Structure 1
Amino acid sequence: MTLFMLMSLTAFVCGMILAQFPKQIFGNKLTDQELHTAQILMRILVVNIALTFPSGLLDSMVSAHEKFLFQRLVTLIGVLCNPLLAFPLLLMGFGSVAVVGVTTFITIAKLLVNVFYCVKILKIQFAFDQFDFHVLREIAQFSFFLFLNMVIDQINWSVDKFILGWVSGTGAVAIYGVGAQINTLVMNFSTAISSVFAPRVNRIAAEEKTNMNKQFTQLMIRVGRVQYLILMLVASGFVIFGRYFITNIYSTIEYAQAYPVALLLILPAMIPLIQNLGIEIQRAVNKHQVRAIIYFIMALLNVVISVPLAKAFGPVGSAMGTAIGLVLANGIIINIYYQFGMGLDMIAFWKSVLSLSKGMIAPVVVGGFIMRCVTFEKISEYLFFIVVYTMVYIVSMWNFGMNVEEKALVDKLLHKGKK
């Protein structure tokens, strides 16, 4: 907690200093009023970032105790409260400041809830007078590359917006932001699944030294197949129904370019999202350093590629740069590292996961027909075809994709639901 409070203070001080120079950060494409608004937003979000350090530590403690129901409930309530609180404020004319203000308020609320749960329910005690510098050195060595990974991830997913702000202005950033937000929603599906298995991964690393890699591979296959089943429904459904969603429900026709932006971000990201349990495995066996180096190179490549593409094609070009980096780093290099550097059987992993693709044949045929022949005139028609496509996907995957273990898991969940 001492370390995280120091990091929180450092983030706060650095953020507030950066907030003094909005023009240098966001470029000359923004008006004076937009720069003033950006400065206010930065200051609010700096507070939000500073609070996430202690809140994240407490959240990790809850996860370590495998109290996932409470953890997911808090997250779900936070997700639901965000639009419920922000939307009325937007209608009252408070603008983007209201949105980030609500986000920070929810962060404070989650922090207080986590403090109460950890101290009162889990009985966790903090001893600030027994600082162990030996443990500090071990934490520093282990955490440096985790921290580097986090920084690089933030750069990689945020750099496109900065590039667009410099070369195209706020309009292009807004379009890209819509596509990026949808990509974030898809990513949350995957991380919500893999994060639940983090304690099990660490248990295998601690207890199964002789048979560790085999167990890791088996667990990664089981989780990866479940992630494929969920993510391919979401991704393929977005290919078919996403354009109408963006232009008629999520935003307006002016944001039509957000559809190809979202596709360029979502589809290449399927590879790392399906196998992202591997990130937990890297951390458990202290082999996450290579990923940091690979992602650092990918971030540099993203910048180099995205600048000319953003100038030529706007938001779509910027997303193309990120897509190329994702395919090279996650599709090729990371899988080679898993296979030869960590001893995981990635050939068996992808052979098992891709065997589910037999179940994609019928949905692809139906999806192609919907895209080619159906024009949605109203939302009721749109929702009807979503239900039709979902049912086709479920039936096809059940009959041609899923194995006996996965069907038994579904049966178990259905019987539990009936009880």
Structure 2
Amino acid sequence: MALKADLIILGCGIFSSTDLQPRSSFSNLNFRRDLKRLGKWDCCCAVLGQRAITPTPVDDEKPLNPSTAAENHSVGIEQNQHPGFHRDLNSLPKPLSASDLSPSRNGGSKVRVAYQGVPGSYSEDAALKAYPNCETVPCDGFEAAFKAVELWLVDRAVIPIENSVAGSIHRNYDLLLRHRLHIVGEVQLDVNHCLMGLPGIRKEDLKRVLSHPQALDQCEKTLSQLGLTRINAADAAGAAQVVASEWQRETGAVASARAAAIYGLNILEEGIQDDEDNITRFMILAREPVIPGIDRPYKTSIVFSLEEGPGVLFKALAAFALRDINLTKIESRPQRKRPLRIVDDSNKGSPKYFDYLFYIDFQASMAAPEAQFALGHLQEFASFLRVLGSYPMDCQIKQ
């Protein structure tokens, strides 16, 4: 039985060897070690080789200025900080950017976890839920968080991948293909949106509210009842920072309870989201994969592409149904105008176009024979296949 696709496994499966070789250089930077090449993975259908993948670059997202009004609204900002404000915002960690990352690391034994945003963001809450005693490192964008892991600045990155109300975060699906990181865990965080303002301010005194667009949309009912003008910001915690540092008495923010505590704001109303079951799922990324087991519930994330034809997707999904493997997510991404450059171990290759990429999560460990057989079966129809990670499901990770 001929197998058409190259199966790209960067972190999962049963390996007959652990051939870990250091990469000589990357952008003139020397690393202590890297997963240059993995051993081959044995399946009943075939011995499936592996290759690395480097897609064409994706432009970095440019964070919005939190004090810039969206939706044609403008707000007068008082530049002088109130003398009674007790927080020294200059003492908070400054976000890393994708352009100023360096390969040096600070010493210390704590797990260092990167996240997108500023202190008090929901991503930082997720990082602390996964690693309660970690040192969190803010980054000014998702790209910077990915690079911080690659350059050994941090040990992990916690990145949002989907929200139960807003849906998937497609930007981060693209970054998964651009960077050679592995999903080693997941965190599900209950979102608790709080309306907050300066000390002594009542919610009736507010005229406008500042937050991330998704947070504002998720609190539409409450904000409409209060008659507040909504203004977009780069992120929710950043909105709280702006209200606190610029002493905007008639402007409130929608953010987490931790953000209110960090920036010295009073919570005027808690749990103002329209949907009580508002959950954001985060993925935990690392340079090296975890070795999957069968001692607890595991989830495996993959991405693949198919040649066009009638019933091809049905046949691909049947590879899991025939083995009673439950699919928890399927996401399709059109890629007709965005080529991926598939490269070998010598980093040589050529761009290749895919009509669609399919991202799938399924409830099985790569250590389980049925998962191995399913991927071997899927490879009969796939023109491209990569395992993004096989990891414990939504568990509290121990340091």
Calculate the TM-score normalised by the size of structure 2.
0.22
